Amino acid sequence: MTHQTDMDEGTNGLETERSYGVDESLVRTCEIALSAGRIDELDGLIDGLHASDLADLLEALSSDSRRILFDHVRDRLDPELLTHLDDVVREDVLEQLEPAEVAAVITELDTDDAIDVFEDVAVADQASVLARLSPSDRALVEQALSYPEDSAGRLMQHELVTVPKDWSVGNSIDYMRARAADLPRDFYEIYVVDDDRHPVGTIPLSRLMRNQRDVRIDDIMLTDLRSAYVEMDQEEAALMFRQYALLSAPVVNERGQLVGVITADDIVHVIHEEAEEDILRLGGVREDDFYEAVLDTTRARFSWLLVNLGTAIIASLVIGLFDAAIEQVVALAILMPIVASMGGNAGTQTLTVAVRALAMKELTAANAARIMGKEVVVGGINGLLFALMIGLVAWLWFGEPVIGLIIGAAMMFNLLIAGFAGVTIPLALERMRIDPAVGSAVVLTTITDVVGFVSFLGLAAIVLL
């Protein structure tokens, strides 16, 4: 009963708010110990940490402390640690390892994880690392690198279990026991192949273990296979997993032969990478630079900010066309940012939904017109509601009902355009084979700024001057 009470208290306590990773106190304690040179204290602090938690700790430390801690654990390095590190941090720690050490790590990993690690090895050291791999491991790495980046061939692992369709359950179990050392560390399905190594079915381990030894494999195998081609984009593979609730999928080459398998844990990483990539690109950041040095981060962001400067100048030139109206009616200078910002925000809402729908293959040529019409209607309704609100505010603020009418009309028009542009821009970019997440935001902002300024200041020039 005491044990149960303790568990209940723990359940209601703060310590259960995060049951994974490392807490800030551990990071601070390790940082202090490393800064003071008390290396002997580290073992007591990190003993028992999971490889992913130790990776979190390394990422949270300063670069100097990270190097010291990694150097301390390198002689008993868990290869899985490297697979959990951010790419930039992994490149850092790999520089501390000799080629022979990197080769030893790669040998211990599944091929998909081994490729991730090898890709972050300095180009100058890659040949040396390959030379220290066994012929079979080297061949697997070189074959994986021959596939396009972000493809199923790069994502798959070569370690899998295959059996002929004319075997029995007993034959399959005996085979796996006899070849235990050559099997993947973790697997959940066995693939059934024909004489030409084409996949013809799959058997979940649960189904295999529930049947008697004399039952034939082809009598109990599942034949509804969803295969990935080696050059299939990893995002397409992730969508296939989502569509059919897969735990794993065979990967076939151009001859339809089974060459590897993609598992659900690989797809989790793909979903994370693709979501991260899209949100970074929408913000004008080409890649995650959280762990990059100051100069590298500055250089990476400068080009996109330069593009934004150009679009801002375009908007300013539009405003300059109406300088006479602004000089005579000061209220226009005060109110015009409202129209542009509301259009930009409304357009960004539509744009975000559209880019996500394109990535998930939900927005297609078949339903584009319907979705576009919906977003224009939504923009119109919101435009009308906000036009009434800002029109009343402007009237009361400046005591001129005509000012309220002008800004209300401009607001409604700009939100209509924002809804239309939020769908058409990503569709147009995809048609031009440009990632919609890359340039949509800056194009949309330019359009809503220009339309907002032209509609508001143009109407004001016509009505008031």
Which amino acid belongs to residue 265? Answer: D
- pLDDT means over runs of 10, the chain (465 residues): 42 50 88 90 89 92 91 91 91 93 93 92 94 93 91 92 94 92 86 95 94 95 94 93 91 95 90 76 64 72 76 84 82 90 91 85 86 92 94 92 93 94 92 82 90 92 84
**Whole-prediction pTM:** 0.70
pLDDT at 237: 94
Instruction: Check: CB of residue 431 under 8 Å from CB of residue 423.
Output: no
Tokens, residue 55: 């990776």
pLDDT at 13: 43
Phi first, then psi: give them for residue 241, nearest 5 degrees. -60, -45
**What's the CA gap between 303 and 310, in Å, rounded?**
11
pLDDT at 2: 39
How is residue 446 annotated by DSSP?
H
All structural domains of the chain, each given as residue ranges with its CATH number in brackets, are 20-148 (1.25.60.10), 162-264 (3.10.580.10), 294-464 (1.10.357.20)
**Cα maximum dimension of the chain:** 95
> What are the distances in angstroms from CA 116 to CA 119, 241, 307, 382?
5, 21, 33, 47
What value, to the nearest 5°, has the Cα angle with vertex 378 and ends 377 and 383? 95
pLDDT at 16: 44
**CB neighbours of residue 407 within 10 Å:** 27
Looking only at the bridges linking them, the beta strands covering 248-252 and 228-229 are parallel
pLDDT at 328: 75
Which of 245, 238, 242 has the alpha carbon at shortest distance from 266? 238
Residue with tokens 């491991």: 137
Instruction: Check: CB of residue 301 under 8 Å from CB of residue 436.
Output: no
Which amino acid belongs to residue 33? Answer: A
pLDDT at 9: 43
Tokens, residue 35: 């800064």
